[in-house]
Every structure is written in C-alpha cells, then in structure tokens.
Chains A and B, each alone.
Chain A
C-alpha cells in the first residue's frame, strides 16, 4: 500500500467521524486518537468499512494521571496500517472490549488487565492470564512496588 492510498483512507475516516477524532502521524504510523466512549464505534467502522481485518497488537502505557491504550491495526492482504490510541483516567480505567470484533483481543486484553489493571467492559472472562489468580497489584503500573 502506498502513501497516497493510505492518505485516502485517512481522509475517509476523517469524513465519517469529523472533528471528534484526531488524525496525525509520527515517523512510523498514521495515528487516530479518540475518546474511550467512541472506541468501539470507531473500531467497528475501521473493521467493517475500511477492511482492517487484523488486530496485531494492543497494549497499555502508564502516563501517570492517565493510561493510554494502543491498538495496531493492519489489513491483510493489503498493507494498510493504523495506530489507534485512546486514554482513560487512572481512577476509572474502563474501556470497551474489542473481543466481538477481533477475538484475538481475548488474551491480549486479559494480559493488559493482568499487568496494567485496565478493565474491559464486555469481556466475558476477564481473569489474570500470566500472574497467579491471587496476585495483588498490577506490575506494569509505574507506582507498583
């Protein structure tokens, strides 16, 4: 996929969602930023309308007051790539689960919950996946001792 096609896709996304999302790019990825409430709708549109059929990676980053969730999307066999970012507050870290769109989110969301402590609404089985069930705390948070 060349740069022109990708810009076309980004323009289309912008048209569907207007000013409610923010689109820009860093050196490596076109980035779409959205609010937590919008995430599910945005992702559904990206998957169904724009063909992003492959959720490669998702992970959380602790930025103090807020957590940032990051989703790397690709299309197969075309080669479009997109980075979707959203932020949630540390006090109420709840995001919608993407498991109905991409079942691959299942364990990956469990891992984020396990290590970072972000809760995913709509996940049917949000249990710890790497740490023991009776473990207390979320080690990837910066304040974990």
Chain B
C-alpha cells in the first residue's frame, strides 16, 4: 500500500549537514524514496576570482576550499603552478610539505570521526577528537601563525621555516597519537548504538563508486585500492612506505574504519619524513612576477583528505590564470548521496552525509 509522498527538508541550517547543505528527502512513510541535494549556499565564485588575481595572490583562497585540511588544497594549487613553471622545490620544503599535508589529513579525519560521532548522538566522541585536533592546530599556529586558514605553502616552497619548538611538539603529538586512537576505538568502535547506525547502511558498491567518480576514503571503503599518493605520485611521496587501508563492504561502517586506519598511515609517513628531514633552503627562486608560458595548461591532482583534488589551470601568458577550475572531491562524492540513501530511513541520511565527509567550502567553491 502506498501512502502519499511528502518531503522532509534537512538543512541548510542543520548541524548534521556540516555547513550549508540542503537535502530534500522525499519520504514514503518512513522510507526514503529519493534525496534531492541542493548546493551553493557557500558559493564564493572562487574560479572567477582566480581570473582577476595573480598566481601568488590566489594561494590564500585555496586554503578556504577545504578549511578542515587547509594545507592540502594549497599544496595542490602550488604544485600545479610549479608544474606550469617547471619549478624544482628544495628538498627541505618538500619534506615539510609532506609533514604538513599529512597533519592536515589527520586533522580532517579527526573532525570526521568526531562529527560522525556527534551526528549519531555520541557527544563525547566529538569532544575527544576536537581536543586532540587542537594539538595539530597549535602546530599549525606555531609554524604559520594561523590555526585553520594557514596559506603556509607558497609557489616554489613554503612561507617560513619551523620554529625550534615545533619538532618536539610534533613528536610529542605523534607519540600520543596511538593512545588517542585507542581511546576512540574503545569509545566508539565497540559501541553498540554506533554499530547499529553504521553497519550495513548506505552501501556503495565498487562499481557504482567508480561510475560516479567517487574518490578518496569513500572509494577505498568500497574495496578499490586507489590512492593518488601511490597511483599517480606527486611531490616526494614515492619515497615513503605506507599502506592503503581498504574495506570491502562499502557501507558507513567501512567508511568510518578506513579513515581511522588512514590516520595511522599518515602518522607513519610523518615519522619517516622527520627521520630524513634535510637542512637547507625552503623556497626555490621564483620570479617576482609569475607568468607561465602562453597556451600552457595543466591538470594536477593530489590525494586530499576527501579524495581527488584537481586543479586545471590554463595560462595565456599574463600574470593571471586565464581559466582555473577546481575539481573538488566533496562535490563529486556528494553525488552518490541520493543513490545510497534510497530505500533507507530518514536517520540514515544523516549517517550517510557524515560518512561521505563533504566539506561545503570545497563542494560549493
């Protein structure tokens, strides 16, 4: 027996939508028939702004794409411009970049674990994760003077070298990280309610994930071992030994545990980078006015904490990019939300949004 369909609006003002995301859930009784996603509440027209800024001026805008892992989008942009210019980045800068990028990934995944927990009602999970993430924010503040929107990477290197107290603080954080993870696992993984809310919910098959262009931890949770740090290495990632955590079931639970496992891998990369960290220059010699060759265009992609973050830049030989396009992983990943929500219950949409881990600054640009 069919009842009359009705619509439940989730967001744009709702804590579980992680920013201005609006989902129209079409309900048949208790069952979700369709979920219509409306984006654009934080659209800033970043791509248009880029056309009237110089290459260097655009760096701080990139931090504001994925503000939960602000070093990652900046890294991708700087490397794209360096590719255009054919610049070689000094060794020390490369190592510092890797460490900052992986710290960003850990910070972003900590927010994921915490926000996933609170979306499902576990407030303590959020508090613990944000407490520990604060130590990464302190590290960022120490190195760049900014907690979240650091714009620390520069075209050709990084803004400034670390202060003396940075490495001891970083090591102390890394030493404490295993016990933090143990704490989350004790608090969350074994929790019956969390398991019931995540297990078998929002299943995304590997095939569908590829068709829909899903990347990052969401793809790996569906059983596809695909990580751009290994599949299309950029920077100096080839030098580090790390594994790519995957899970097979593609449900919310898989997406949750894959990210927890990734935190450990990132920490292992940071340890290796710290061990080999060379002395020396932190910035290549970059012309004061950056004018890439006319007609050059580049697509550079990195593995951000959300998936494949790509920058397409076309140059017309002037100081400003002729066209700049950001391929935002959150935007593409969100496309499967209706697919994995259909047939479920209303509260599963919350779990699905939480485990797809979109950041709206990036998806709306």
Contact = CB atoms under 8 A, between A and B. Distances in A.
A62 B39 contact: no
B131 interface: no
B314 A130 contact: no
Contacts of A79: 231-232
B310 interface: yes
A98 B231 CA distance: 25
Contact of B40 (A56, A83, A106, A130): A130
Contact-residue bracket for chain A: 20 to 34
A85 B343 CA distance: 39
A61 B296 contact: no
Interface string A38-66: 00000000000000011111010110000
A56 B301 contact: yes
B224 interface: yes
Given A56-B327, A102-B211, A107-B332, A83 B299 contact: yes
Contacts of A77: 224-226, 231
B298 A56 contact: no
Nearest to B312: A59
Interface string B75-119: 000000001000000000000000000000000000000000000
Interface in B38-66: 39-40, 43, 45, 47-48
Interface string B12-27: 0000000000000000
Interface stretch (A2-10, A11-19, A22-30): A22-30
Contact of B43 (A106, A131, A140): A131
A115 B47 contact: yes
A100 to B, nearest CB: 11
Given A28-B299, A104-B332, A108-B332, A72 B213 contact: no
B43 A57 contact: no
Contacts of B298: 28
Interface in A71-89: 72, 76-77, 79, 83
B210 A57 contact: no
Interface string A101-139: 011101110010001000000000000111110000001
A21 interface: no
Contacts of B211: 102-104
Contacts of B40: 128-132
B141 to A, nearest CB: 32
Contacts of B365: 130
A63 to B, nearest CB: 9
B308 interface: yes
A104 B210 CA distance: 9
Interface of A: 26-29, 53-57, 59, 61-62, 70, 72, 76-77, 79, 83, 102-104, 106-108, 111, 115, 128-132, 139-140, 144
